[in-house]
Amino acid sequence: MKFSSRTLVAALAGVISLASAASAFAQVTTDPIAPLPTAQLPAPLPTPPAPPVVLPPPFWPVADATDLLSVIQSVGAEGLTPRDYNPAGLADAIASRDANRVAQVATDSFNKLSSDFAFGHVRGEDRIDWHVVDGDLTNDRQRALLDLALSTHRIGDALRGLLPTHPQYGALRVALTDPINAAQVNTIRLNMDRWRWLPRDLSTRYIIANVPAYTATLVENGVAISRHKAVAGAIKTPTPQLSAMATGVILNPWWEVPTSISHEVAGKGGFVAVKNATTGAVQRWRQPPGPANALGQMKFVMPNPYAIYLHDTNAKSRFNSSVRAFSHGCVRTDKIGDLARLLLSEDAGTWDPDKVSMTLASKKTQMASFVKPLPVYIVYFTAAAALDGTIVRYDDVYKRDGTVIAALLNQPRAAKKSTAAEASLAKDATTAADTAPAAVSAPKPKPAPIKLQNDPLRPR
């Protein structure tokens, strides 16, 4: 019998393969702890995440459930709608004397109300470009709060302890009960909810920049230390709402031109092209320090995903305008040098005012760090209380109020620029009445004490 060379090669390959397998098998059988050949090992199965632990609702004494119902019926004083928290269902459960039913309905209402007190009723995309992180109430803390409230029989106190303590929130709350402000009820309600979107504790020392008011204010222990006019983003480039930690300032900064507007400066004098080292293609444009620099003499270092920060400007005449929505998104801040010198020289910092001035005069770019970094909040409030409690409304420059009103009323989202839709929503909110079960009467809410002296959002 004759074999071709190709047949012989195939036969030899088979023999070698069988020999290898036999060798591997022999190794396994002779060495019981040797690993199996790699080809025989199955891929490990992924470990599924552990399901969240869902605790059963706790027992609710009738008195505590009745207290919760009373709080729900009074939430109109907080600019919220009682029916969102199922007062009728809770009243029926209480009347049924079914302990399991009371526990389930009361726990659901408590969780919904505590979440809205802590975070606001309006969530998600209805906030429109709001990126401030608020970690006031986790699921674990919510359950711990409920357990403590039931053990001490202080349901109302536990819930009210989640509400904002800022004096502006208190002033809006009082104004909501004033018949004179009935026409502004929606403006008051939506701005109260915006306060709930913020962390309850803003820190003892922070900067708050309110876009519609075009102001930036340094606040310490509740007192406005330094107030500045500001220029915010234009309609087509709105300033997002965010929080960031300011760690210092860059003196004589370069301006890194955003890609979205690089075509506006490409090839113009006074701008430097940054090119790819291999291809020579222009990747971006920069503007060096100098009198024409768009950032002026300094910018705050406050890292955030949106590259938004407070900075100086070479176009200071803009601060004289009543409407100051001109920037590409960042917050131009009037007299920011005074603010920077104040922050840099705190706690015997090495950057005293003279050193700052000398560095600016040198035209060299240099980073100057704060001894005490502080948070910056860029917010969007279209109403604030004056010293006499009068509510002053700022122009809704980005036309966002209508969407928030619709979400508060659980209505379809309003058209972005439809003044007719906003007017209709305002009318609905003014005239709507929420009917609570008559079996339990709600106590009349007590106005919060108000201290508006030096308040950062107070009109100038």
Angle at 330 between CA 324 and CA 335, to 5 degrees: 65
Query: 3-state DSSP call for residue 219?
Result: strand
Q: For residues 342 and 356, what is the distance between their CA atoms, to the nearest angstrom? A: 11
pLDDT(314) > 50? yes
Pairing mode, if any, of strands 298-301 and 242-251?
antiparallel
pLDDT over threshold 80, residue 417:
no
340-357: average pLDDT = 90
> Does 291 score more than 60 pLDDT?
yes
pLDDT digits (tens, 9 = 90+) for 157-177: 999 999 999 999 999 999 998
The answer to whether the CB of 148 falls within 8 A of the CB of 158 is yes
d(CA 141, CA 271): 53
CB atoms < 10 A from the CB of 432, how many? 11
Q: What is the pLDDT of residues 370-384, one digit of tens each?
A: 999 999 999 999 999
Residues 27-74: pLDDT tens digits?
Answer: 444 455 545 555 555 667 777 777 777 789 999 999 999 999 999 999
Q: What are the structure tokens assigned to 17, written together?
A: 């393969």
The DSSP result for 132-183, as a single string, is: ----S--HHHHHHHHHHHHHHT-HHHHHHTTS---HHHHHHHHHHT-GGGGG
3-state class (DSSP) for residue 319: helix
Most confident range (mean pLDDT) of 16-20, 54-58, 366-370 is: 366-370
Among the listed residues 453, 448, 398, 454, the one whose alpha carbon sits nearest the alpha carbon of residue 172: 448
Q: What angle do CA 439, 444, 446 make, to 5 degrees?
A: 150
Using the predicted structure, report yes or no on whether residue 13 has a pLDDT greater than 60.
Answer: no
* Of 135, 162, 179, 142, residue with least CA distance to 80: 162
Q: What are phi and psi of 205, to 5 degrees?
A: -150, 120
For the chain, how many residues are written?
460
Q: Is 433 helix (H, G, I), strand (E, B) or coil?
A: coil
Residue whose tokens read 């929420």: 434
Question: Which residues make beta-bridge pairs with 233?
Answer: 327
- Higher-confidence position of 202 and 55: 202
Q: How many CB atoms lie within 10 A of CB 253?
A: 25
Closest to 425 (Cα-Cα) out of 448, 445, 450, 401: 401
Instruction: Please compute Rg for the chain using Cα positions.
Output: 31
- Integer angstrom CA distances of residue 107 from 67, 92, 137, 296, 316: 13, 14, 16, 55, 55
What residues contact residue 435 under an 8 Å CB cut-off, 6+ apart?
Answer: 83
Q: Which range has the worst mean pLDDT, 118-122, 353-357, 452-456?
A: 452-456
Cα–Cα dist 110/95, whole Å: 18
Beta strands in 213-335 (DSSP E): 215-220, 223-233, 242-251, 255-256, 272-275, 282-287, 298-301, 310-311, 325-327, 331-333
Task: Give the pair of three-digit tokens for residue 196.
Answer: 């709930």
Tokens representing 358 are 């000398």
What's the pLDDT band for 416 if we cut at 50, 70, 90?
low
Is there a contact between 68 and 111 (Cβ–Cβ < 8 Å)?
Answer: no
Task: Give yes or no for residue 76 having a pLDDT over 90.
Answer: yes
57, 56, 84, 55: which is closest to 72 by C-alpha?
Answer: 84
Structure-model confidence comparison of residues 29 and 202, the more confident one: 202
What is the average pLDDT value for the chain, to the nearest integer? 84
- What pTM does this model have? 0.79
The token pair at 46 is 């992924």
Q: For residue 444, count CB atoms less than 10 angstroms from its CB and return exposed for 0-12, middle for 13-18, buried for 19 or more.
A: exposed
